[in-house]
Structure 1
Amino acid sequence: MDLTNETEFDAATTVGAMQLFLETCYDNDIERLLDVDTELSSLAVDMHTLVEFNLGLAQAVLEQPTRYQTLFDAALHSALRKRVQPPTRAINSSSKVRLGHLPAHPSLQRTKMPGSSDVGRLISITGTVIRTGLVKMMETHKQYACTKCRGTFTVNAELEQYNHIPKPSKCVAPGEDCCNSTTFMPVDATTGVDLQEARLSCTDYQEIKIQEQVGKLALGTIPRSIVVILEGDLVDVAKSGDVATVTGTLVWRWRPANQGERPDIALAMRAAGIDTNGSGSSGSGGSLVSVTDEVRQGFGEFWRQHAARPMDGRDILVSSMCPQVYGLFYVKLAVLLVLIGGVARADVSGLRVRGEAHILLVGDPGTAKSQFLKYAAKLVPRSVLTTGIGSTSAGLTVTAVRDGGEWALEAGALVLADRGICCIDEFGSIRDAEKGTVLEAMEQQSISVAKAGIVCKLNARCSVVAAMNPRGAYDRESSLTVNTALSSPLLSRFDLILVLLDSPSEAWDDRVSSFLLQGGNIETSGAWPFDRLQAYIAHVKGTLNPVSTPGSEQVLTRYYQIQRQRDSLNAARTTIRLLESLIRLSQAHARLMFRDKVLVEDAVMAVVLMETTMLSASILGSTTDALHTTMPADSQASYKELETLVLNRLELQHLINN
């Protein structure tokens, strides 16, 4: 037996083994591919299933993915032809087997970009999509006809040379006599090939760029990126900002060499399958924090211990938030509620009402604004920390960039923070022409793009935690719009705006000095460690969807009515957005308290935080200094005083102690 026959025998045996695997494990999926009403054109294969079915075949696929991908496709076509009725009916010859879910091994599943040693291997990379190119048609092969012997032959596109189809150097038409001619002409629809064959010689093609996830990198490491080649039904699966897991083969790519120019060689990944987990449901939002059953039981036990005095348990969590900062009790509580967020819902028309809350910290220098932003970015795995000084409209939203003569969309901070938080420092330094670009992102949670002929809409479902200094010395007699130089529409999109004024206070300065000199351990006794607080936030966001109760609805409705009656103080603030902000804050407080119902105390705390914004001090009688607030000595008693005061001012005395 010669080498050719042996190779053909091995290939036929392998295709048979693959067909047996597909028919055994994916029988129903193969039937769905034959359904004329379905748009499916590929079969997703789990590598774990292949390992359990045939370990030797799985190892061969991992070692030589390019060769065995072709054999897998042939096995799928054979299985389809076996089932098609009537036998003369044509099958979709573009059907592919999409490999995914590689075994959990560091050499196969990567969070860091691969190197040249991985070329030719089947690996899986998880990263954030930062750029999406246009969908194009790629010619996979071209037929040539020899002008001498009239024979035809096919030349395939070379992926390594950016899908360039090289012109053959001599005739390689099949036959006994080789003419070795050097003159050819391409065969197209005008020279005899049918339209069906012309259609099969092209496929959809798109290039995207994925970047290493910043949360999984060491401090100070610059994230790297790699180009991913998508073909067929894989195009348009991933959008900018999605967290995608791409399974594929690493290849070299280079431009045709030109004399006098240095060759440009780069790594790229040819995708065999892609899974986007950044567009999931409104649960944990693709959180990277794993919460074990033991940790969940610990959360339940903690709240059972504080069932009689729940506010004591809440304040332990609040003291765990940014423990290196002394005081600022209401700021810590507010930022914690924003990180937890409310419950997103859809109205009768299907329009989504956001559950993500936004907060703006306006204060003098040295009031720990940047500390809160950095700590919040660490608490939430999917976060982006940026500054207004270095951000343009592209840096915050999205931009169209020219890549190799073509336009592509590159995601900005708000898009990359989808399902997470975007922390923006020096928010007031953003240029006026660029402040308008974040209006849609903050309210509609999406960004509409119409640039360079690209019209689309990207998700920006993130909470914004922003900080800025006032414009000059803060004037208590002037409105917030004057003090911040921000427009009313932009300010109205923030659920909370806390003003931190560093007014002189001898007693406060003495306590802060003692806190710093003693190493910052005055308020942190009994506080949760960072990892536990991070797991708690991820757990309550992903599992609890609190619903309102009649008592909480009465509190929020009555407070909103009072604010509407005195809207002359801040007409831009007392819109329906005020009520939506109150609902989100009360839902977040219920989640913080580990409950699935919004009680009166949750609504009362939402009102207290809204009063702390210094925009509507009508219930508490006077504005609350958010900066000079410390942890209450008796949390439960302190809350009872606030509850009595708020409900009395709202004329809802019957809700006290309910």
Structure 2
Amino acid sequence: MRHTLHARITGLPVCPELTRDTIPRSRDVGHFLSVTGTVIRTSAAKVLEYERDYMCAKCRHVFTVQADFDQFYIFVPPVACPNPDGCNSLKFSCLAGGCQPAACRDFQEIKIQEQVQRLSVGSIPRAMLVVLEDDLVDSCKSGDDVTVYGVMYQRWKPFYDGTRCDLELVLKANNIEVNNQQAAAALLMKDVQKEFEDFWNIYKYDPIAGRNQILLSLCPQVFGMFVIKLAVAMVLAGGVQRVDSSGTMIRGECHMLLVGDPGTGKSQFLKYAAKIIPRSVLTAGIGSTSAGLTVAAVKDGGDWHLEAGALVLADGGLCCIDEFNSIKEHDRISIHEAMEQQSISVAKAGMVCKLNTRTSILAAANPKGQYDPNEPLSVNVALASPLLSRFDLVLVLLDTRNAEWDHIISSFILEDRGLPAESASVWSLEKIKAYFSVIKRLQPQLSEEANIILTRYYQLQRQSDGRNAARTTIRMLESLSRLAEAHARLMYRQIVTIEDAVMAVSVMECSMQGGALLGNVNALLTSFPDDPCQQYQIQCQMLLEGLNLPLLLQKEMDRQAR
């Protein structure tokens, strides 16, 4: 019992000078510090022998020696026999029997890196080793934001032939806290949920207007682009993960690809989305390899370790990939399994394992030269059909000439940075974060009416003459149900209604080239409607008439009238 009891220290409220957001320096050696960072590597848990019994060869005196942490856990016996009778012999032998259970403890090393958002301008994030022992082992995983409390030590690196002896800074942990779990728990307080319930009570008879109020707060620096903001909100809300009768897991996370001309605000949406969702990773395709996106095998000392790439670090969050078409072809293939099966199978350096990548992917790509609407999407973006079919939504942003729209945008940017059509009480970033954390706990179920609409639309797309073979696969039906569930979450509902199914179909229509039901919609030039309810009614009528569902249309119109 004495060996396993520990006093864990947390908080350090009276010592702000001992709190570090950046990697400590040599002047901090010997101090008890609190260091914040992101875990980028975790080694395998090992058994560490920290005590060993020796016996004097002359007087048979038995004494215990502790492993020297500064010398990389090397046992350094005393110079002479410590027998109080004054033996002073110089010969000792280690007692046989190996490591006793009481003299061993669990041991693990992790590597933490400075958080990018806390760095000063032009800085490259640095990393340091943290040593975990006993119950702290396996308390965090790659991608976690952690606060580590512990003492800074200087430690000799292991000695190898032909290399110089170096010192390294190591933090010996006394306690470790995983911050992303705390943040989620803190946001889901009763008063925050009460605030959102009150908000929806105000918009009880006009929920579409309430939803548009939330969408106005998404990426407020970009004017208009109503369809894009709705699609991004649905991807961030996500669908419900389920397991079918055969035990196969069907993913709930949505993936979206934004294809568009330069200067259409694609990167703005990626950066904003990464701020909202915890455990987000933002990367650009031009500098990403398959090892950087999936997992890299790194040799450190004598051992091989797996270092998490962008998709593993974003497990349970969001991975934003800019310049998606700049990733090399053979590196892009490694994403296939991560997107659909939500895992990465690794067979590197003798390590065979499977890592989870339960993440939504929000990607942006530029077309190959001038976008040609008459050519299929796979030709315009130079992406293969297997990859395109894995995206739930592919929205095309074309920078077409439109004098009226150019005038509106220029006045928004140059004059008052806001227009009457979009002036409303915008939610703060913290409130948006809290809202998406709360709605991710909802588990909406598809209603019978919603099922009929989604199935009928899927059948219509499959039978269409000009269908895109890369997009109209069975995955499209799964995408529709995910989007309908995501819209129900966005509307703070437990049941997927006709309204949610209609909105899922209309967003999918915008993502299909030359939609048969709504006509060609340029998502870039869509502004927020003055009368959301009326716009929804027109949309609903067009879609349900096109799908030949008069009974559902009548039912929905009666509900709207009430």
- What amino acid does structure 2 have at the position aligned with 1:161? Q
- What amino acid does structure 1 have at the position aligned with 2:79? K
In the aligned structure 2, how far is the partner of 1:440 from the partner of 1:235? 30
Instruction: Give the match for residue 8 of structure 1.
Output: none
2:215 paired with 1:318:
yes
- 1:464 Cα shift? 1.1
In the aligned structure 1, how far is the partner of 2:155 from the partner of 2:473? 56
Instruction: Give the match for residue 384 of structure 1.
Output: 281
Instruction: Give the match for residue 598 of structure 1.
Output: 496
Asked if 2 retains the 8 angstrom alpha-carbon contact of 1:540 and 1:591, the reply is no
2:151 paired with 1:242:
no
- What amino acid does structure 2 have at the position aligned with 1:172? C
Instruction: Give the match for residue 427 of structure 1.
Output: 324
- 1:213 Cα shift? 4.1
- 1:236–1:379 Cα change, 3 Å: closer
Asked if 2 retains the 8 angstrom alpha-carbon contact of 1:445 and 1:460, the reply is yes
- SS at 1:96 equivalent: coil
Asked if 1 retains the 8 angstrom alpha-carbon contact of 2:157 and 2:168, the reply is no
In the aligned structure 1, how far is the partner of 2:213 from the partner of 2:349? 52
In the aligned structure 1, how far is the partner of 2:119 from the partner of 2:245? 43
2:545 paired with 1:635:
no
Asked if 2 retains the 8 angstrom alpha-carbon contact of 1:326 and 1:520, the reply is no
Per-residue CA distance 1:489-511 (angstroms, 9 max, x = gap): 11111111001111222222222
In the aligned structure 1, how far is the partner of 2:551 from the partner of 2:132? 63
Superposition map of 1:330-369 within 5 A = 330-369=227-266
Instruction: Give the match for residue 373 of structure 1.
Output: 270
In the aligned structure 2, how far is the partner of 1:275 from the partner of 1:470? 44
Instruction: Please tell me whether Structure 1 or Structure 2 has the larger radius of gyration of its CA atoms.
Output: 1
- What amino acid does structure 2 have at the position aligned with 1:454? M
Superposition map of 1:98-109 within 5 A = 98-100=6-8, 102-103=10-11, 105=13, 107=15
Find 2:97's aligned residue among 194, 206, 213: 194
- 1:441 Cα shift? 1.6
Asked if 1 retains the 8 angstrom alpha-carbon contact of 2:342 and 2:358, the reply is yes
- 1:553–1:463 Cα change, 3 Å: same
- 1:158 Cα shift? 0.9
2:346 paired with 1:443:
no
Asked if 1 retains the 8 angstrom alpha-carbon contact of 2:366 and 2:381, the reply is yes
- 1:120 Cα shift? 5.2
- 1:645 Cα shift? 0.6
Instruction: Give the match for residue 64 of structure 2.
Output: 154
Superposition map of 1:605-644 within 5 A = 605-615=503-513, 617-620=515-518, 622-644=519-541
Find 1:129's aligned residue among 18, 39, 44: 39
Instruction: Give the match for residue 541 of structure 1.
Output: 439
Asked if 2 retains the 8 angstrom alpha-carbon contact of 1:146 and 1:171, the reply is no
- 1:538–1:111 Cα change, 3 Å: farther
Per-residue CA distance 1:402-431 (angstroms, 9 max, x = gap): 112321111111122222211111000001
- What amino acid does structure 2 have at the position aligned with 1:335? V
In the aligned structure 2, how far is the partner of 1:560 from the partner of 1:269? 56
Asked if 2 retains the 8 angstrom alpha-carbon contact of 1:334 and 1:609, the reply is yes
In the aligned structure 2, how far is the partner of 1:468 from the partner of 1:139? 53
- SS at 1:424 equivalent: strand
- SS at 2:515 equivalent: coil
In the aligned structure 2, how far is the partner of 1:539 from the partner of 1:257? 48
In the aligned structure 2, how far is the partner of 1:348 from the partner of 1:359? 28
In the aligned structure 1, how far is the partner of 2:169 from the partner of 2:231? 46
In the aligned structure 1, how far is the partner of 2:430 from the partner of 2:507? 25
In the aligned structure 1, how far is the partner of 2:377 from the partner of 2:67? 62
In the aligned structure 2, how far is the partner of 1:612 from the partner of 1:628? 12
2:205 paired with 1:303:
no
In the aligned structure 1, how far is the partner of 2:508 from the partner of 2:452? 16
- 1:535–1:379 Cα change, 3 Å: closer
- 1:481–1:295 Cα change, 3 Å: same
- 1:298 Cα shift? 3.1
- 1:250 Cα shift? 3.6
Find 2:111's aligned residue among 209, 227, 237: 209
Find 1:555's aligned residue among 420, 443, 453: 453
Structure 1 range deviating more: 198-207 or 362-371: 198-207
- SS at 1:312 equivalent: helix
Instruction: Give the match for residue 489 of structure 1.
Output: 386
- SS at 1:361 equivalent: strand
Find 2:373's aligned residue among 462, 467, 476: 476
In the aligned structure 2, how far is the partner of 1:532 from the partner of 1:235? 33
- What amino acid does structure 2 have at the position aligned with 1:139? E
In the aligned structure 2, how far is the partner of 1:110 from the partner of 1:602? 47
**TM-score, normalized by length of structure 1?**
0.76
- 1:543–1:288 Cα change, 3 Å: closer
- What amino acid does structure 1 have at the position aligned with 2:38? T
Structure 1 range deviating more: 415-424 or 605-614: 415-424
Instruction: Give the match for residue 47 of structure 1.
Output: none
- 1:346 Cα shift? 2.5
- SS at 1:386 equivalent: strand
> What RMSD, in angstroms, separates the aligned Cα atoms of the two structures?
3.1
- 1:468–1:99 Cα change, 3 Å: farther
**TM-score, normalized by length of structure 2?**
0.88
- 1:241–1:221 Cα change, 3 Å: same
- 1:460–1:384 Cα change, 3 Å: same
- 1:118 Cα shift? 5.8
Per-residue CA distance 1:447-469 (angstroms, 9 max, x = gap): 22221122222222221111010
In the aligned structure 2, how far is the partner of 1:257 from the partner of 1:654? 79
Per-residue CA distance 1:478-499 (angstroms, 9 max, x = gap): 2111111111111111111001
2:553 paired with 1:650:
no
Gaps of 5+ in 1: 1-75, 78-94, 188-192
Asked if 2 retains the 8 angstrom alpha-carbon contact of 1:340 and 1:540, the reply is no
Per-residue CA distance 1:142-188 (angstroms, 9 max, x = gap): 4444444444433321112211223x35332435132332x44444x
- What amino acid does structure 1 have at the position aligned with 2:398? L
- 1:535–1:266 Cα change, 3 Å: same
In the aligned structure 1, how far is the partner of 2:122 from the partner of 2:203? 41
- 1:424–1:257 Cα change, 3 Å: closer
Superposition map of 1:71-110 within 5 A = 76-77=1-2, 96-100=4-8, 102-103=10-11, 105=13, 107=15
Instruction: Give the match for residue 172 of structure 1.
Output: 81
Asked if 2 retains the 8 angstrom alpha-carbon contact of 1:111 and 1:125, the reply is yes
In the aligned structure 1, how far is the partner of 2:126 from the partner of 2:157? 22
Asked if 2 retains the 8 angstrom alpha-carbon contact of 1:131 and 1:240, the reply is yes
- SS at 2:545 equivalent: helix
In the aligned structure 1, how far is the partner of 2:237 from the partner of 2:57? 72
In the aligned structure 1, how far is the partner of 2:260 from the partner of 2:406? 17
- What amino acid does structure 2 have at the position aligned with 1:326? F
- 1:580–1:214 Cα change, 3 Å: farther
Find 1:267's aligned residue among 169, 184, 203: 169
